[in-house]
Amino acid sequence: MRILVTGGAGFLGSHLCDRLLSDGHEVLAVDNLYTGSKSNIAHNLQNPNFEFMRHDVTFPLFVEVDAIYNLACPASPVHYQKFPTQTIKTSVIGAINMLGLAKRLGIPILQASTSEVYGDPNVSPQPESYWGNVNPIGLRSCYDEGKRAAESLFFDYHREYKVAIRVARIFNTYGPRMNLHDGRVVSNFIRQAISGEAITLYGTGEQTRSFCYVDDLIDGLVKLMSTAGDIVGPINLGNPVEFTMKELAAKVIDLTGSKSDLVYEPLPSDDPQQRKPDTTKAAEILGWAAQTDLSSGLLKTIADFKPRVLAL
Ligand code: NAD
Ligand code: UDP
């Protein structure tokens, strides 16, 4: 198949391109290079089955493909809050443009949605049936509400136009190739630990997240896309083992052998207190569960970060 990956030069997108190429597909990666980078896809540029197009998904795209993975959208709070209007436009207008393309071509389209649709959840773990607790006007709203509106659009295109949709709700995912200055917690802690800078814990460090290794996540996305047409989701994809940010910092220090100190900084506004996926649906419907424990995944990520951090 010839597959379009929007956000294909980003962290997850570039890993997805690798996986689709190794499965024998042709890949068209579309990206405006806001948080993505050509270095993420440099190893594929000479591959005749790979093509890169610099394009902003808030503008219509006319290409001929057999399936779409819609990943375009900055994912780190630092980056998505820097240009909030562009963030919500990317989610909403990007979804409309890509759904329009899927509708015209009669092809399946997968949306990279997020655990952020649950906001600061009142239930834990979060099942797909939970409607969330989201601030509609806060600093995170451009991302959270953008992704929620994109989910609405996906389901309306499905109901109204019979577009074959798949909606994955992705929980915090990490791994090699994350941008060193991405601003997310795993990349910050590893960069800080390797370079000997202080590790920045926001708030008390007691808030929790559940971290999924990138290869596991990509496998879940591909499995979801490969399901029969009546499986639309939403389906949580994540590793259900929950850690506090203090525990994560201790693990990163231990695995890097770092002498970094911890410093406490203010908690960003609307920062969710807990996040843990209920992955029952993914197990039952896709036969999928995350396989990589945090220490093994962090070791692979540290190995990728080390030369890049030392070269800074
Ligand atoms: P990332 O920032 O590395 O990748 C996003 C990519 O989208 C970048 O390459 C960026 O340049 C591109 N992009 C942004 N706006 C665009 C636009 N208007 N037009 C074209 N390209 C654009 O982040 P990521 O972690 O790889 O996330 C990929 C997707 O997965 C995002 O949609 C994100 O919301 C979703 N997601 C990721 C996580 C995670 O933990 N990594 C969790 C939940 C959801
Ligand atoms: N965080 C932190 N130190 C950092 C970066 C993030 O303590 O240097 C915290 C942040 O406040 C949040 C958690 O780590 O509670 C995860 O943040 P991230 O930006 O990775 O993703 P989020 O899940 O909040 O979108």
Write out the DSSP string of the chain.
-EEEEETTTSHHHHHHHHHHHHTT-EEEEEE--SS--GGGTGGGTT-TTEEEEE--TTS------SEEEE--S--SHHHHHHSHHHHHHHHHHHHHHHHHHHHHHT--EEEEEEGGGGBS-SSSSBPTT---B--TTSTTHHHHHHHHHHHHHHHHHHHHH---EEEEEE--EE-TT--TT--SHHHHHHHHHHHTPPEEEETTS--EEE-EEHHHHHHHHHHHHTS-TT----EEES---EEEHHHHHHHHHHHHT--PPEEEEPPPTT--S---B--HHIIIII-------HHHHHHHHHHHHHHHHHT-
Percent of the chain exceeding pLDDT 90 equals 98
Q: What is the CA radius of gyration of the chain?
A: 19
Q: Which of 38, 71, 109, 275 to mutate for ligand 1's pocket (most ligand atoms within 8 Å of CB)?
A: 71
Protein residue with least CA distance to atom 14, ligand 1: 73
230: confidence class by pLDDT, cuts 50, 70, 90 = confident
> What's the 205 CA to ligand 2 centre distance in angstroms?
9
Which residue from 76, 120, 202 has its CB within 8 A of the most atoms of ligand 2, so it is best to mutate? Answer: 202
For residue 229, is pLDDT > 70? no
Residue 38: nearest ligand to its CA?
A: 1
Catalytic residue among 34, 69, 80, 143: 143
CA-nearest residue for atom 25, ligand 2, is 77
pLDDT tens-digit readout, 247-267: 999 999 999 999 999 999 999
pLDDT of residue 97: 98
Q: How far is the CA of 257 from the centre of ligand 1 (A)?
A: 31
Q: Write down the pLDDT at residue 251.
A: 98
Instruction: Indicate if ligand 2 lies below 6 Å from the C-beta of 111.
Output: no
Indicate the pLDDT class of residue 288, thresholds 50, 70 and 90.
very high
Atom 13 (ligand 2): residue with closest C-alpha? 185
Neighbours of 79 (CB within 10 A): 19
Nearest CA owner, ligand 2 atom 19:
184
Mutate to test the pocket of ligand 1, among 15, 17, 18, 73 (most ligand atoms within 8 A of CB): 73
Residues 222-239, mean pLDDT to the nearest whole number: 92
Query: What's the length of the chain?
Result: 312
Share of the chain above pLDDT 70, in %: 100
259 CA → ligand 1 middle, Å: 32
Residue 84: pLDDT band (50, 70, 90) is very high
Query: Is pTM, for the whole model, over 0.85?
Result: yes
pLDDT of residue 231: 87
Ligand 1 is surrounded, with C-beta below 6 A, by: 6-7, 9-13, 31-36, 56-58, 71-75, 90, 94, 112, 114, 170, 172-173
The CB-side HSE value for 121 (13 A sphere, CA atoms) comes to 21
Residue with tokens 């992705």: 170
Beta carbons within 10 angstroms of residue 231's beta carbon? 16
Q: Is the CB of 245 within 6 Å of ligand 2?
A: yes
The residue with tokens 């969710």 is: 272
Spatial separation of the C-alpha atoms in residues 162 and 140, rounded to whole Å: 31
* 143 tagged catalytic: yes
Ligand 2: nearest atom to the Cα of 201: 7
Query: Alpha-carbon distance 7 to 250, whole Å?
Result: 32
User: Closest ligand 1 atom, CA of 178?
Assistant: 3
Per-residue pLDDT at 228: 76
Round the average pLDDT of the chain to a whole number and report it.
Answer: 97
Which domains are assigned to the chain? 2-176+211-240+277-291 (3.40.50.720)
181-197: buried (b, 16+ CB within 10 Å) or exposed (e) per residue? ebbbbbbbbbbbbbeee
Q: How many angstroms does the Cα of residue 189 sit away from the middle of ligand 2?
A: 10
Average pLDDT over residues 286-299: 98
Determine the distance separating the centroid of ligand 1 and the alpha carbon of 32, expressed in angstroms: 11
